[in-house]
Structure 1
Amino acid sequence: MSYSKAGAVGWLVLDRPDALNSLDRESVQQFTERLATWRDDASVRVLVVTGSGRAFCAGADLKQAGSKPEPGEKDLLDLIVILFDALRSFPKPVIAAVNGLAFAGGLEVVLCCDLVIAAETARFGDAHSNFGVFPGGGGAAILPRKIPANVARYLLFTGEALSAADARLYGLVNEVVPAGELETHVQALADRLAAKSPLVLAGMKRVANEAADKSAADALRHELLECRNHGRSWDITEGLAAFREKREPQFKGY
């Protein structure tokens, strides 16, 4: 796992290209620790997750998946579940920049992200059934919420993969770009998001994440509460002033 910052954008790179960026104990723990650090870092307003080499992530490292931990230690699945929970609940926009293969746990990483930008060469598949492995990070639970249920079942049962273009057609991917333009395109998108009010984006994410588990009336009440709370912020005062003065707002996140 490697990481860097470009302006207000934090880049997390799955960096085990010889192992197709599969998730081992060390990389999962590094990923989780970096999320915890950047969660409360006001200088990071947007997170991008990507991979090195020809894969985004091929899932859990199966060489470690079956090994028993030392007494008192969490096993690999426990660590992955903790990571995915942290990624789903990360309070800032998270973009998956899918550079290549996103299979099994790699697809589940994608499912944890808010926006998905894929290179034309990217491919998406569950693949657990190919190895007699059961998904534990959202493959069966979340995928049917993201794409049509019959398409999700096809991917789950067959272990086959979708092209980036088909993944966009089914709603899993927001944009498909040439492979050589992925990083530049995602940085430009992340920069646009980073210029917006962090409070607005965080509140929108909370409401959107919880809406599917609520009635429409409860979701609307949640949205109104967030709206009322935001009305006491510095950012709304700045945004309205910028509108009146015909200038770009300078949001501070409080």
Structure 2
Amino acid sequence: MNKSNIISPSKIRLLFKFIKYNLKIVFGNKFVYFLGASLIFYLLISSISLFAADSVSVHGVYYQLMFPAFLLVFFPTTYGIQNDEDARILEILFGIPNYRYKIWLVRLVMAFFMVFWFIFLMAILSNLLLISIPVWEMTLRLMVPVMLFGMLGFFFSTVVKNGNGTAVVVVIIGLIIWFISAFIENSSWNVFLNPFNLPSGMTETVWVNVVQKHIRTWLVVALVAGLWGLLNLQNREKFIK
């Protein structure tokens, strides 16, 4: 078979249209408010840190970037099903064979891809304005909790099937995890573990093992939550009113 027939200009145009349309669905409507809130929060915290008497630390920048990152991933994952329903395309999408793999898997990849570059840009700004940081490593480390909460948001959106209801559930879970993290601060089970904050009294080798276990654990949880959410989309009758 001729390769030119496989990757034809018409197929490329169709692919770009597909991506453009799904970007509008995933990042449309209220996403601009979450983007604006994350940028305002980041600029506010950065300004305070810039003029504060205390010196800025790398592990401090990690936490400064975490909340804006959560805001960025919050809307496209928790309100995804609601957006499809509001756009009146939910029933059409469920008519596509293997809907869960062809549409929402692509949307999740696009959402995390866009959020990754937003975090990367904010990390560059922090590197220029505040303190020298490992930009790539900082971005990749932040993607662990971001992917976890993003996948949890997607999973609960397939259970609750309402954007606002899902948002409430995810926020409550986040607050509970934040409360618990105070008691397991340096444990690999702490979702908000700061990999750039080496605890006193712990060797660097032990700390590296803790961080690696933390990454593996929560990426597996994120993967399970994502797959579970995709499986929930098989129950067409529960989504079509």
**TM-score, normalization: structure 1?**
0.26
Q: Is the helix fraction higher in 1 or 2?
A: 2
**TM-score, normalization: structure 2?**
0.27
